[in-house]
Amino acid sequence: MCDLIFSGVFERHPRLRVAIVEFDLSRVPNVLTSMDYTYRERHGKAIYRFKNGMLPSDFFRRNVVLSFQEDAIGIRLSDVIGTGNTIWGSDYLHSESTSPQSRKILPEILKGVPDDEPNMI
């Protein structure tokens, strides 16, 4: 994901959306902060420079979607991650799947999420 962002793929292809599956949402704030810091402060590490003042985190929010299964902490960080960037999946058929308890587990994961946001996930 970082290579796609830093190499300018999403700047050249603004409508391209990439889904990263089985990724813990709670990791995202640290990754976004690190990418933006590297871009701003470590010019030698971030050779490609974006147009229009965009930061790596802007491309993440526009072009990347993450799936999660059970990450209640990550859901609480949706203001940093972006609600429109998350997709829930039960991982059905795998042994770690939430199925057949998905209908019970999902409301617990989404507890505290504003009423209009669950449908965005």
Are 22 and 55 in contact, with CB atoms under 8 Å apart? no
Are 86 and 70 in contact, with CB atoms under 8 Å apart? no
pLDDT score of 108: 81
pLDDT score of 60: 93
The Cα 108–Cα 6 span in angstroms is: 36
Domain span including residue 65: 2-120
The Cα 86–Cα 2 span in angstroms is: 17
Which residues, given as ranges, of the chain have pLDDT below 70?
44-47, 90-98
Q: How many domains does the chain have?
A: 1
- Does pTM top 0.85 for this prediction? no
CATH number, domain containing residue 60: 3.20.20.140
